[in-house]
Amino acid sequence: MAYGGWGAVGGGAWGGGPGKPEEDEPEVPRQAPTSNNVAFGANAYSPPPQSSSQPDLATTSQRSQAPAAGGNTAFGSSAGAYGQAAAAPPSPYGGGASTSFGASSTADPALKRKEAELAAKEKQLKELEAKLTAAGATIVKKNWPICYPILYHDIAEEIPAKGRRVVREGYMAWYGLCICLLWNWFCTCVMLGTNANQKVPSWFLGLLYMLLGIPLSWWLWYKRLYGAAKADSAFGFVWFFVWFAVHTAFCIWAAIAVPFSANQWSFAGFVTAMNALDKGNFPGIVYLVGAGCWSCEAAWSCWVIMDVFLFFRGKGGVKEAKEEAKKEAAMSVLRGQMASQV
């Protein structure tokens, strides 16, 4: 029996009136959420699946990462698109597992070793610079001669103890030569006051002997002896013997002083002294003193060359000099080959 009127409307529209009972539809059970990590309202409402036409907000790299077990894909989930962005590594300026700038640089053992090596090299360079500065100061320091220092000369400082004796003997021989040359020139000056022949050329020759003899004797044989004893060089002693033999022969010649032509009064030797006595007593005495000076210098030079030779033979002598000469020849050949290759 059907109901009409408002009852029908009430029954149909409002669903509650008596009438023919409708067939009961089976109730669909509500599915429980598959994960505990869901967003707000996930148990009450599950969002509908997105259609294929809706743009995917996740990036390709994020989609490639498979979600964890249980499908944690909601907002706040670390496996979802937005959850992956939220779970990115923290900024290097803040605290976290990532390393900030310079955090591990000092902890690297390789860098520490490199810093230690650089510090050691810097220390070595400073020490070398200090040594070079000290050596330069020693070279620059001039102490000889005392009146007007122009070079550095110190036997006690630079010469080993075993070679100081022969070097001092050579130094005395050089001083004796200087005295002889100065007195020799003084004798020619005295002869200018007489009526002797060739007195002016003899004066110029005496001045030339003094001006050239003093520096040349220093550099040719005394510095050879000084350097050979300082460096313990047998080859340097050989050069000293060569030039000192010339010096000794010159002193012997000056002590005799055989006059000839312009050289008649230039040497204050015994023969010249005999001729000077004919010009006056004072010139004769002056030349006799000069002859005595040249004789003493010649005798001392003979002693020095003998003593230096004994010292030279005692430290190896000619054998060591030959070995050094061979080494020097080999080095010269090697330098020539290298120069030709260049």
pLDDT along the chain (342 residues), means of 10: 42 44 51 46 46 46 44 44 47 46 60 88 87 64 89 93 94 97 96 91 95 96 95 90 97 92 88 93 96 97 95 73 72 78 70
| In a domain? residue 25 | no
| In a domain? residue 171 | yes
The closest of 294, 319, 314 to 165, measured between CA atoms, is 314
| In a domain? residue 260 | yes
Residue 335, Ramachandran bin (φ over 0: left; ψ between -120 and 50: alpha; else beta):
alpha
Q: What pLDDT, on a 0 to 100 scale, did the predictor assign at position 184? A: 96
| In a domain? residue 16 | no
Question: What is the identity of the amino acid at 87?
Answer: A
| In a domain? residue 306 | yes
Q: What pLDDT, on a 0 to 100 scale, did the predictor assign at position 322? A: 67
Measure Cα distances from 37 to 89, 91, 222 in Å.
21, 26, 104
| In a domain? residue 289 | yes
Please return the burial class of 199, using the count of CB atoms within 10 Å of its CB with bins 0-12, 13-18 and 19+: buried
Length of the chain: 342
| In a domain? residue 11 | no
Q: What pLDDT, on a 0 to 100 scale, did the predictor assign at position 137? A: 54
| In a domain? residue 256 | yes
Tokens found for residue 313 = 């033979």
Question: In sequence order, what are the residues at sequence separation of 6 or more whose Cβ sits closer than 8 angstroms to the Cβ of residue 214?
Answer: 177, 178, 181
Question: What is the identity of the amino acid at 218?
Answer: W
Q: Long-range pairs for 139-147 at CB < 8 Å and ≥24 separation?
A: none
Q: Is the preceding omega at residue 201 within 30 degrees of 0, hence cis?
A: no
In DSSP terms, 151 is beta-bridged to: 144
Residue tagged 């036409």 (tokens): 53
| Model confidence, pTM | 0.57
Expressed as residue numbers, the domain containing 257 is 162-330
The closest of 244, 242, 295 to 267, measured between CA atoms, is 295
Domains in the chain, number: 1
